[in-house]
Amino acid sequence: MELKDLLGYENVVIQCHDNPDADALASGYAIKWFFEKNDKEARFIYRGRNKITKSNLLIMLEELQVPVEYVPEMDEEPDLLITVDCQYGQKNVTETKAKKIAIIDHHQKTVDVPELANIRSNVGSCSTVCWDMLKEAGLNANDNKELATALFYGLFTDTNRLSEVSHPLDRDMLDSLLVNKSIITEMVNSNLSFNELQITGKAILNYEYHETDKCLLIQAEECDPCILGVISDFALETENVDVVLAFYESPYEVKFSVRSCTKEVHANELAAFLADGLGGGGGHLLKAGGALRPELLTKSAKEVLEERLRLYYEKYLIIYAKNTTLDVSKMKRYDKLTQSLGAVKLADVFPIGTPINIRTLEGDVDTVIDEDAYLMIGVEGEIYPIKAEKLIRSYQLTNFVYNRVFEYEPRIKNTVTGEVKKVLAYAKTVLSTGNSFIFAKKLEQPVKIFTAWTEDKYYSGQVGDYIVVRADDEHDIYIVNGELFDRFYKPV
């Protein structure tokens, strides 16, 4: 669904969830602004039993001129009802009768989705979804600085002060928005009420410490999700604590926050593991978080999280490739199959010596362009740097254009000038040459591999994936996805 699909209705109401947060308010603000820019009327409302009372949200409403109405009783039946940051039929949004329903959201789907819907569960906020929809409709949120500031604050609060931002679209929005920093500072420093200060103190005092794993488990009362970030950030500073998991349970969701200060545990991976099949989770290597859907839990949230936390620590074998050699006598020998991949010479994009940021679905990479710097585009669209020597040794370069369709098309930004260029505009097809022998075997236990080249970051492999070592370098150990292995290699 695109925003233009909503313009054919006359009586339009935009509704966010009861007890709205900053993301819900910013999202509804964005959609109402879209209608105004198209000379159409639309009401923006919230319902439920409680009016907004949190000081940071009251500042947001006043300083950013958020045009929302509190409507506890609704008599009219609009032609179109658009729910933002929630899904029509969920328990956290009071039902409003309407002739047609539309949904704009970023949470996991929990209802039957109508034809008019744009739900992107992989992004950090509904504000991001609305910002991108405005952009697709030819509108620039920066034309309304109050709206731009609201959208920034929506993402800021929904991702624990940006600590859980993982999708490149979220980062694109952050890069593009021109915000009023003084208002952001005012709202941030009014976020904690005295009641939430008590919630923070009580939660920290009732911690559970798992000594073997140096992990703190902290249960809080229901609160603003940002408070979980405050709790976990503070608790991580405790001696002999490497990981903190803070959470609360409500009738509508279980929110949790993960912090890690050890290279053996990536916070985003742990968050995804905790939420697998029950909700969603993600973020950065050191800070992450997520949510579980209560209706999918067969035990209390605490029991589920404790059990999954224990399974996570028991699950992995850790390998440090720099100091490890594998017994290749128990592995099969394979040769690399000819493949058609993509490559970009970075010096064709920006001049040599330019500091750049490469933005991909897998994350951001910062580097400086030199004569030998290339980007490889893998069979699944993954992007990774490679030096000319290694590229030429393993691949045949061609002048054929390389075309692929991505969920998110990678971009390269000149970090000095801010100029952004898309990767595919410079991509050429390369063909793997074969004669690259490896030893490999299927994993029978999940592993974390710290490669010889990246000692501060591991790569995870699951049962059914392959652990691989190059025949000409016993310390070049890595993981290949089990579903892709037969596309890459043939037995010798």
Instruction: Look at the chain and report how many structural domains it folds into.
Output: 4
Q: Which two tokens stand for residue 167?
A: 């999708």
Across residues 375-402, what is the average pLDDT?
85
Q: Are 26 and 173 in a shared domain?
A: yes
Which pLDDT tens digit goes with each residue over 64-105? 999 999 999 998 899 999 999 999 988 789 999 999 999 999
Q: Are 182 and 227 in a shared domain?
A: no
Query: What pLDDT does residue 105 have?
Result: 95
Q: Which residues contact 100 (CB under 8 A, 6 or more apart)?
A: 9, 79, 80, 81, 114, 116
Q: Are 178 and 71 in a shared domain?
A: yes
Query: What pLDDT does residue 288 have?
Result: 83
Q: List the beta bridge partners of residue 344.
A: 375
Backbone CA torsion sign across 232, 235, 239, 241: negative
DSSP 14: E
Is 187 in a helix, a strand, or coil? helix
Position 362 pLDDT exceeds 90: no
Q: Are 170 and 236 in a shared domain?
A: no
Half-sphere exposure of residue 48: CA atoms within 13 angstroms, side-chain side: 15
C-alpha span between 328 and 440 (Å, rounded): 8
Position 434 pLDDT exceeds 80: no
Which pLDDT tens digit goes with each residue over 363-385? 788 889 999 999 998 877 778 88
Block residue for tokens 């905790």: 274
Query: What pLDDT does residue 54 have?
Result: 87
Q: Which CATH number goes with the domain that contains 87?
A: 3.90.1640.10
Q: Are 269 and 396 in a shared domain?
A: no
H helices of 320-473, where? 388-394
C-alpha span between 411 and 172 (Å, rounded): 10
Query: What pLDDT does residue 435 have?
Result: 64
Q: Which CATH number goes with the domain that contains 217?
A: 3.10.310.30
Domain span at residue 94? 3-188
Give, to the nearest 10 degrees, the angle between helix 225-235 and helix 145-158. Answer: 50
Position 456 pLDDT exceeds 70: yes
Per-residue burial over 174-201, b = 16 or more CB atoms within 10 Å of its CB, e = otherwise: bebbebbeebbeebeeebbbeebeebbe
Q: Are 201 and 183 in a shared domain?
A: no
Q: Which two tokens stand for residue 18?
A: 């009861």
Neighbours of 424 (CB within 10 A): 18
Q: Which two tokens stand for residue 478?
A: 């890595």
Q: Are 152 and 181 in a shared domain?
A: yes
Domain closes at, from 188, 213, 234: 188
